[in-house]
């Protein structure tokens, strides 16, 4: 089954820029950006970010406000602050043997960077890979960078959570097929009605030097409180700015 998967990946792999390098910094940036975010959405942010910060030292030397400005719009802005802190840690001490020692790095990101950048024989299991392994019962006992990439690609493009393309799957022989889909959850609020939406608009406005968004005062109060708690903004009286941002 693994040979069939690798042959499929050789012909079906998307041409993603972070797959063209073994440099750990671009790979690390890509893996942080790809957390809960689709590859097509990440690519323009990834390219702009690395143009400005081609190595950890450039990122570590920049104010957090500039890192957030380049990140703004990608979502989950706390990832940007964690990446900024991780760059400082890398500059100070190099790449640690245990990548989970870096700020904001969990088991999957550590395994992915270890595999794709350093060739470590570890299995990088995210939501997509876990789904593939559960459905196919594939025994991935000898993980390689190519196998990790192939599993990730299959889960992202073919063996999807909803509407999997089973007819195109190289592992369809012996696969039990997707589990019965759970009924959709009802009553889920629109993204525009969530605090996360307001938080993103606040960061985007500050990054662009614009006024805070015109939303209900209580929603804005909650967003500002949460952003300050998470270190994404600084407040002094009525002034609000990104961390390290020059006062205008």
- Shared-domain flag, residues 87 and 147: yes
- Shared-domain flag, residues 218 and 159: no
248 lies in some domain: no
pLDDT over 70 for what percent of the chain?
95
185 lies in some domain: no
Choice among 76-90, 124-138, 169-183, 231-245 with the minimum mean pLDDT = 169-183
Question: How many structural domains compose the chain?
Answer: 2
Instruction: Please give the residue range of the domain that contains residue 237.
Output: 191-241
Q: Check pLDDT > 70 for residue 178.
A: yes
**One of 31, 66, 153, 234 is an active-site residue; which one?**
31
Q: How does pLDDT run across 116-145, given as a tens digit for each residue?
A: 999 999 999 999 999 999 999 888 888 999
The pLDDT of residue 119 is 96
CATH number at residue 104: 1.10.340.30
- Shared-domain flag, residues 148 and 36: yes
184 lies in some domain: no
HSE toward the beta carbon, residue 130, CA cutoff 13 A: 4
Q: Could you give the C-alpha distances from 59 to 1, 115, 153, 161, 220, in angstroms and in order?
A: 42, 23, 29, 35, 30
Q: How does pLDDT run across 25-54, given as a tens digit for each residue?
A: 999 999 999 998 999 999 999 999 999 999
Task: Categorize the per-residue pLDDT at 184 as very low, low, confident or very high, splitting at 50, 70 and 90.
Answer: low
186 lies in some domain: no
- Shared-domain flag, residues 38 and 112: yes
55 as an active site residue: the answer is no
Q: Are 202 and 224 in contact (CB under 8 A)?
A: yes
The pLDDT of residue 29 is 98
- Shared-domain flag, residues 152 and 202: no
- Shared-domain flag, residues 59 and 140: yes
Answer with the one of 168, 200, 221 that is the final residue of a domain: 168
């Amino acid at each position: 089954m693994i040979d069939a998967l690798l042959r499929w990946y050789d012909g079906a792999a998307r041409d993603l820029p972070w797959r063209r390098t073994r440099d750990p910094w671009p790979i690390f940036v890509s893996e942080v950006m790809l957390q809960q975010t689709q590859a097509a959405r990440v690519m323009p942010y990834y390219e702009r970010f690395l143009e400005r910060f081609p190595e950890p030292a450039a990122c570590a030397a920049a104010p957090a406000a500039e890192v957030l400005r380049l990140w703004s719009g990608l979502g989950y802005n706390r990832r940007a602050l964690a990446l900024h802190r991780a760059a400082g840690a890398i500059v100070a001490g190099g790449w640690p043997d245990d990548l989970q020692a870096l700020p904001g790095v969990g088991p999957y990101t550590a395994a992915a960077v270890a595999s794709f950048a350093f060739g470590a024989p570890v299995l990088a299991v995210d939501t997509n890979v876990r789904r593939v392994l559960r459905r196919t019962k594939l025994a991935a006992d000898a993980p390689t960078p190519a196998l990790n990439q192939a599993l990730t690609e299959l889960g992202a493009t073919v063996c999807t959570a909803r509407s999997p393309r089973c007819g195109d799957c190289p592992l369809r022989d012996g696969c039990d097929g997707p589990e019965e889909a759970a009924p959709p959850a009802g009553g889920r609020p629109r993204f525009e009605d969530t605090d996360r939406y307001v938080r993103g608009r606040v960061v985007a406005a500050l990054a662009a030097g614009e006024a805070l968004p015109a939303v209900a005062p209580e929603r804005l109060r909650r967003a500002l409180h949460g952003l300050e708690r998470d270190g994404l903004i600084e407040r002094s009286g009525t002034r609000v700015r990104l961390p390290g941002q020059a006062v205008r």
